[in-house]
Structure 1
């Protein structure tokens, strides 16, 4: 999810530097062995001035990577660099790598604005950037254009001397309300990578001062929601208008979509009343409704509520039951098994 957002930011700055004639180099994580702080596809673009955008580690590798990037800019020759050959996880973390193995980067001089890649990102289309690490030649094609040249994987991966950078649009989050507390939720969710849409029937609240780009703004009441916003089975939505009738109408509309997560802000009894009304109209899929919305972390104020909600959405997306990492026995970044029915119990 972060990879999509970061790639957009990195390529946008790269294009600005190319337009201004500023020499630059791009560093990309192409291989990770062990538990990684950053994964394959993480990027850092460096200008000849030393200015940079992006991130390829926990922060401690960046200084060395920038030095390599400046050398690449001067020489015009791409380099591959390995970091953290130790099996000591503590030492690896202290180096800012966060793994107990190897992190390999490809640092290449850049001579174009990567227009094909930026077009795919702008169109929010899943795609693959295949780079021949020997020649530097790149191909960009849709993720569904499978063939012998494809990585055959939905994750960025290194195969021989070719790196397949797989980019898929992150989940869409619909925030139903442009009120003051929604500002905090929309901004935080956008910063962690969700593609955020804010919908409200009050146009006066839908302003760029409150919701900066890339947050998308839509004026819509409940009746207009389906025709103006498309939510797929990976989408999230949070209803938080503070108006009982509006929340009921919006939730009714959202239950007709395939969105996987429908959060409802407010007390448990209030959500129960809304669901009682909707049950009288037909079946309600309770497992999709998270009300009261958010994790139980003891919140005070809109900022902390936003943190609680975003944390819950990330846990749902990754299929994890929220707990302190101190209690987790598996590696932090290990994939979670598919949650059982009991792990997705109704929240209403």
Structure 2
């Protein structure tokens, strides 16, 4: 979501400056590549790039293709094949062995449902969404960023094409929480739909405004997470100490939960270094549906807190991550922050947090349900 937010901001500036733009989206990958379907990049007519569609090797040629799309005022699908001699220079630099399909869409600001307006609607709502991008691998009908679906039923259509079953297919993606591909027939032409599941950014609530909370807040901001700092000390919980935080609350534990919203993407880290504060907040959190609760400090501290709360069950010991973070040999506050962020991402993504070199299956798998 951070990439999308950056693209929206860059487009707003380009529009203010009177510059034409195009959106490049990785819509399909065969084999391996640095970026996967759903990677996006905004290109302005004077060559400013926001986002990324590769490790850097495709961006130069993508600029030329985007300018062509802007000049011709039509969507274009471009194929980069690292196994093709003409495209070998891209593949060698990328270090991959695959085919990447990138869709270029010039942005028409006078059209209500252009790709940027659809992405803007997506970014404005903190909820899971399914986004449809339609393209043709063999024909000329490059429809592009087409529609958005959320659990509230918002559904926006691009003016090109009509797909009566698409709403139900997007709902299925929402239900399964998994991106996929589907094929449709339109006027005897095969149209492929990349149906992308997109979840909102993680909301990280850091209980504690000490010095060790600062790198955690900064790293989370780099990732595009929504950061809240909560502490009872007005001298510590300040915008000067946490300039990147989205929200700073000087509050007692009993008042904290009424000031925030907990959803499937909310993580709490208890690191106030105030035992009673952490204890009271932990007591409140155990009765919520918060998907991640982390406690800084040794395991004996967590066991003691659970004992005092009369909630030292196997379930709670498993649910609360204490000591918080992954074992990466962290010593400094910055290293500990990295280990905490990595564990939160793994838990909320349902990932194993193991080494990728030991993974036998592909890192990313997208299913084509028509096959």
Matched with 1:62 is 59
Instruction: Note if 1:191 corresponds to 2:222.
Output: yes
Shift of 1:92: 8.2
Q: Can you list the C-alpha shifts for 1:89-130, whole angstroms capped at 9, x where unaligned?
A: x998743274x4322110111122834531331232433444
Contact 1:128-1:166 within 8 A present in 2 as well: yes
Match of residue 262, structure 1, among 270, 290, 293: 293
State the partner residue of 2:267. 236
Q: Partners of 1:283 and 1:329 in 2: how far apart?
A: 32
Structure 2 residue 11 is matched with structure 1 residue 9: no
The 2-side partners of 1:123 and 1:155 are apart by: 19
Question: Using the alignment, how far apart are the partners of 2:365 and 2:196 within structure 1?
Answer: 20
2:81/2:100 contact within 8 Å kept: yes
Question: Against the structure 1 CA distance between its residues 280 and 195, is the aligned structure 2 distance closer, same or farther, given a 3 Å change threshold?
Answer: closer
| Alignment equivalent of 1:328, drawn from 353, 356, 359 | 359
Q: 2:149 is matched with which residue: 142, 146, 150?
A: 142
Equivalent-residue separation in structure 1 for 2:300 and 2:14 (angstroms): 55
Could you state the TM-score of these two structures normalised by the residue count of structure 2? 0.78
2: CA distance, partners of 1:30 / 1:334? 14
Is the alpha carbon distance of 1:138 and 1:27 closer, same or farther for their aligned partners in structure 2, counting shifts above 3 Å? closer
Distance 1:285 1:301, change over 3 A: same
> How far off its partner does 1:277 sit?
1.0
**Which residue in the other structure is 1:109 paired with?**
106
Q: Where does residue 340 of structure 1 map in the other structure?
A: none
Where does structure 2 lack aligned partners over 5 or more consecutive residues? 136-140, 156-163, 183-190, 367-371
Q: Paired residue for 1:127?
A: 129
Residue 349 of structure 2: aligned partner = 318
**Alignment of 1:218 onto 2:243:** no
Where does 1:38-187 land on structure 2 (aligned, <5 Å)? 38-86=35-83, 94-96=92-94, 98=96, 100-112=97-109, 114-133=116-135, 134=141, 136=143, 139-144=146-151, 145=153, 148-150=165-167, 151=170, 152-153=172-173, 154-159=177-182, 160-187=191-218
Q: What are the equivalent positions in structure 2 for 1:281-292 lying under 5 Å apart?
A: 285-292=316-323
Distance 1:327 1:156, change over 3 A: closer
Task: Look up the SS of the partner of 1:95 in the other structure.
Answer: helix
More divergent stretch after superposition (257-266 vs 274-283): 274-283
* C-alpha distance in structure 2 between counterparts of 1:252 and 1:294, whole Å: 21
Structure 1 range deviating more: 296-305 or 130-139? 130-139
- Give the match for residue 301 of structure 1: 332
Matches within 5 A, 1:269-280: 269-279=300-310
TM-score (normalised: structure 1): 0.83
Q: 1:157 to 1:63 in 2, by over 3 A?
A: farther
CA separation of 1:203 and 1:118: change in aligned 2, threshold 3 A: farther
Partner deviation per Cα, 1:140-172 (whole Å, 9 max, x = no partner): 443233872233424455542544444321332
Structure 2 Cα separation of the partners of residues 268 and 252 of structure 1: 17
3-state secondary structure, aligned to 1:205? coil
**Structure 1: 5+ residue stretches without partners:** 336-348
Shift of 1:183: 1.5
Q: How does 1:242-253 map to 2 (within 5 A)?
A: 242-253=273-284
- Find the aligned partners of 1:41 and 1:327 in 2 and give their Cα distance: 25
Q: Distance in 1 between matches of 2:150 and 2:267?
A: 23
Number of residue pairs matched? Answer: 329
Q: Which shifted more, 298-307 or 32-41? A: 32-41
CA RMSD for the aligned pairs?
3.0
